[in-house]
Amino acid sequence: MPTALATSKRKFHRLLDSISNASSTSLASNHGWNNLSTTTLPTNLASPAKKPRFESRPTSVYIPPSQRQLTSPRPEPHLRIAIQPEKSPRMNEERRPPNFAPWDRGRFLERLKTYRHVDKWLGKPDKIDEVKWAGHGWSCVGRETVRCVGGCDNVVVIKLEDDVPQLHGGECEGEEEQDEWREEAQKQLVEKYAEMISRAHDEGCLWRRRGCDDTIHRLPLAHQAAALESLWYRYQSLSAMAADLPETLSTPDGLGISKLLESADTIFKERTSNTASNSTSAREPSDASTRAPQPPKNVDRSAFILALFGWQAEEDHITGLATCTACFRRLGLWLFKPSPEDPASQSSMQRLDVIGEHRDYCPWVNALSQNGASRRSPLDGLVGWEVLLRHLKNHAMFKTAETKETNNEAEKEKADTASQVASLISSGIMAEEEKEAVKRNDQERWAKLKRLKQVFQAKKKTVNPKKGTSVR
């Protein structure tokens, strides 16, 4: 046998011996037994075969779960301590809505609001305007810069006119040729940016697959009660700064402001009375500090017209500033009023165009933004202020019909009452006549009886009681 093989065998057997010795030692130490071989057992000990097995086994301490539950003492009620799990930092943070929510109009308006600053965003063609970018998850974060905030965080810089000469590479011959070339280059840039509205997102970004629906910008004017309630809210905000409102307003022809003011007066008084009743029922009788709003004496014409066309006071209560919450256009009303120091002076702008001051894509003046591409209801095809105007006219017609019906019912009730009174009077007259007739009949009957009685008495006197003959 070669020496190397023998050496390997010895090492292998030595390894086996060490493993077996270690295992036996650990087993004995775990059970508390002595590591003794059979040759070293004392002679006075009995044979392991004769010794009962249960005596050599250690006592088991295992208790089944069922017994453990029964035997384990229950803690006293006063010793029980409610341990609440610690809140993680993520639980303490406010839960934000998901970034990808193409159905959420509120989130869309939040993104669209970031484009309102003129120092960051200028007007763009319809294909790449702020509505298209906001509808695909982009927010304006800098000068002509949009970003997918909360999503893939990609950034796009939009440049249309500044890069046109650089793309051409030189000057054109003639102004007409240069203008034509600029228009063509502008169209190509617009088409390129229109594709980037969706493709500029990452492959895994959900905004790449789908954007907002074309009706996401629609104003909630379908329900008449909600539409009139929002009109009342805008009017209240504007009437609070009635002194700053301009008087020269440009409105569409044939609007019929006088009739609308009458309808608005009825609506606003109803809203004021409802608010007063709710506030009176809600507050305690001893609370004299909170007073219900007083009904308006006269509807402010300027405040009503501005509210009808979607304008309201700035939420930050900036004096003389009106805004639209759909297109985020802001108006400085002082531009349309003469200087208070010199009332005879002219204002910076002659008239306030309540329609033209909106942005072109605003649903108050744009039928496509209000209705989308498809037609779903009779209100489709109308812009926002036309829908609200129809609600006002319908409300006025309903109130007129209700008043007429109430008057008819009152007249009918009066007629019924009059007929009942007449019938009662006639029945009373008939009763008196019947009484008179009965009385006359009784008198005639008594008269007949008296005459008969007189006749019988006269005959009785003429008969002779002694002879039984009558005296002639």
DSSP letter assigned to residue 353: E
Residue closest to 411 by CA, chosen among 464, 403, 355, 131:
403
**Per residue in 322-374, pLDDT tens?**
999 999 999 989 888 887 666 666 666 778 999 999 999 999 999 999 988 77
Q: What is the pLDDT of residue 273?
A: 67
Q: At 146, is the secondary structure helix, strand, or coil?
A: strand
**Per residue in 158-199, pLDDT tens?**
988 654 444 444 454 567 777 788 888 888 889 999 999 999
Q: What is the pLDDT of residue 389?
A: 93
Q: What is the pLDDT of residue 346?
A: 67
Which of the residues in the chain have pLDDT under 50?
A: 1, 15, 19-20, 22-52, 54-56, 60, 70-72, 77-82, 163-170, 172, 279-293, 295, 470-472
Q: What is the pLDDT of residue 123?
A: 87
CB neighbourhood size of 309 (10 A): 24
Gap between the Cα atoms of 355 and 339, Å rounded = 24
DSSP string, 299-322: --HHHHHHHHTT-EE-TT--TTEE
Residues in the chain: 472
Residues 6+ apart with CB under 8 A from 324: 310, 311, 312, 330, 358, 359, 362, 364
Contact 124, 133 (CB under 8 A): no
First to last CA, the chain: 202
Token representation of residue 244 = 């700053």
